[in-house]
Amino acid sequence: MNIMPNKIKNGKPNLVIIHSFPTNSTILAGLYDYLADFFIVYPIDLPGFTSGIKPLEVVNLESYANYLKREITRLEIQDYWVGGVSFGFLVANMMGTHKHCRGVLAIEPYLGSENLKIPLFRKLFYVLSIKIIEVGNAFYRVWHNPFIQKYLLMGSSARFDKKIKKILDVMDARTFFETAKILLTSHETDCKLHEIPYILVINKGDGSIRADRIISRFALDVDDLLIAHTTAEHYPETITKEYFEKRIDKKEVDKILEFVQKYNSDE
């Protein structure tokens, strides 16, 4: 477990947050620093996404969700919001409802492969490539191949820069490929939204996911919903606190905090 909570107890709501794919709490430290101005932040790294946490024996959404449940139990916090960034939302949502969970913060959420801005032929190529790697148990042999890292793994949706190279250096190879297969083969209809409050933070111009489709799904299925808009990119070149301060308008932040306060257990 890699937990770095903000220890200041000043009335801020608790936020348990799960990173995107293929990142971790170190890569997203700038985002978490930004969120820490408004929440007591408890980042949870998923197994295999950092060298300090042993990979799952079976990599699937249920295993990730069960891991998340155990880690939240270990935190011993009474009331919290659970947040997920992109793929992290899918894991958080898969966990289901809990009496201590006040709601879900969905940051540029991934719901299913239909949401990805990737041509069908490219998805099929990626899935077939991963299956070949699985059959040959070649996860670790291909992992550090520059061609594989730059073209097959990252595709067109993420920049192959020092930050991506950093996560490739610490992430478990099998975890990467099998989680990528989840992203490429999951269906939006399998992502069931619950009867709890949701905050959707999304960029209508997101270059990696189909924002309009996601907004429509939340609006259709969630009764207690707040939509907050941002201009943050899905894979920013610079992931700093200052970046998010510029990309999320203060009016949007105020809307989020007012919405969260409605479900504060101290009311």
What whole-number distance in Å separates Cα of residue 113 and Cα of residue 125? 14
Instruction: State the pLDDT at residue 166.
Output: 75
What whole-number distance in Å separates Cα of residue 165 and Cα of residue 257? 35
CA atoms within 13 A on the CB side of 260: 25
| CB burial readout 84-123, b (16+ within 10 A) else e | bbbbbbbbbbbbeeeeebbbbbbbbbbbbbebbebeeeeb
Domain boundary among 163, 183, 203: 183
pLDDT tens readout for residues 121-130 = 999 999 999 9
Cβ–Cβ under 8 Å, residues 19 and 27: yes
Instruction: State the pLDDT at residue 21.
Output: 94
Domain boundaries, position 201:
14-112+186-261
Instruction: State the pLDDT at residue 267.
Output: 46
In this structure, is residue 2 part of a structural domain? Answer: no
In this structure, is residue 5 part of a structural domain? Answer: no
Instruction: State the pLDDT at residue 150.
Output: 65
Q: Is residue 156 predicted with pLDDT exceeding 50? A: no
**Which residue's structure tokens are 């709501």?**
13
Task: Specify the CATH number for the domain of residue 220.
Answer: 3.40.50.1820
User: What is the average pLDDT across 18-45?
Assistant: 96
In this structure, is residue 4 part of a structural domain? Answer: no
pLDDT tens readout for residues 98-109 = 889 999 999 999
pLDDT tens readout for residues 180-213 = 999 999 999 999 999 999 999 999 999 999 999 9
Question: Based on the domain organization, do 161 and 84 belong to the same domain?
Answer: no
Question: Based on the domain organization, do 94 and 199 belong to the same domain?
Answer: yes
User: What is the average pLDDT across 32-57?
Assistant: 96
Q: How many folded domains does the chain comprise? A: 2
Instruction: State the pLDDT at residue 144.
Output: 75
User: What is the average pLDDT across 80-85?
Assistant: 97
